[in-house]
Structure 1
Amino acid sequence: MSSRKETVLDLAKFIDKGVQVKLTGGRQVTGTLKGYDQLLNLVLDEATEFLRDPDDPLKTTDQTRHLGLIICRGTAVMLVSPTDGTDEIANPFVQPDGA
């Protein structure tokens, strides 16, 4: 067994590519991944935060806020996904209003 700690995620393939990061507390940020460490601390450049709906804090709106260069603490990172090759689809579980 190796004494060197390795991260569960292999983020090397996402360096200098766009990623979307969801953080604990509901914040959602996109940016260019510039670096990371074994604790999953992330460095994002040209970061943009999607603002939440004031009426429903669990939903994000189309409004954004430019953050620039940021560090996301690994303890707050819940999800890291690439922005290229992903599309948003309609929720198949939402019932139509007439039902």
Structure 2
Amino acid sequence: MSNRPLDILNSVLNSPIIVKLKDDREFRGNLQGYDMHLNLVLDDTEEIKDGKSVEKYGTVIIRGDNVIYISP
């Protein structure tokens, strides 16, 4: 049986994920929550560029319409 996208997100709650946005920025953080629009709440978030941390943000909310991909 195939998983639906929200089922996959539910299985990685409280786990680290990487999110790429339309403006080519990437963020890594622990997924704390999400909704049906793929709005995401990340904790201990950091912006990464070329695999290295460039900025730390703490807790952030990312609007789902800016997301290109989510990688667990």
Q: Which stretches of structure 1, 4 residues or longer, exceed 2 Å deviation after superposition?
A: 60-63
Q: What residue is the counterpart of 2:45 in the other structure?
A: 47
TM-score (norm 1): 0.63
**Structure with the greater relative contact order (CA < 8 A, sep ≥ 6): 1 or 2?**
2
Structure 1 gap segments, 5+ residues each: 1-7, 52-59, 83-99
Say whether residues 1:77 and 2:62 are aligned partners: no
Q: CA deviation at 1:64?
A: 1.8
In the alignment of these two chains, the number of paired residues is: 67
Identify the match of residue 12 of structure 2 among 11, 14, 17: 14
Cα gap change, 1:26 to 1:34, in 2 (>3 Å): same
TM-score (norm 2): 0.85
Give the number of the structure whose alpha-carbon radius of gyration is greater: 1
Instruction: Note the alpha carbon deviations across 1:1-24, whole angstroms, 9 max, x for none.
Output: xxxxxxx51210010000000011
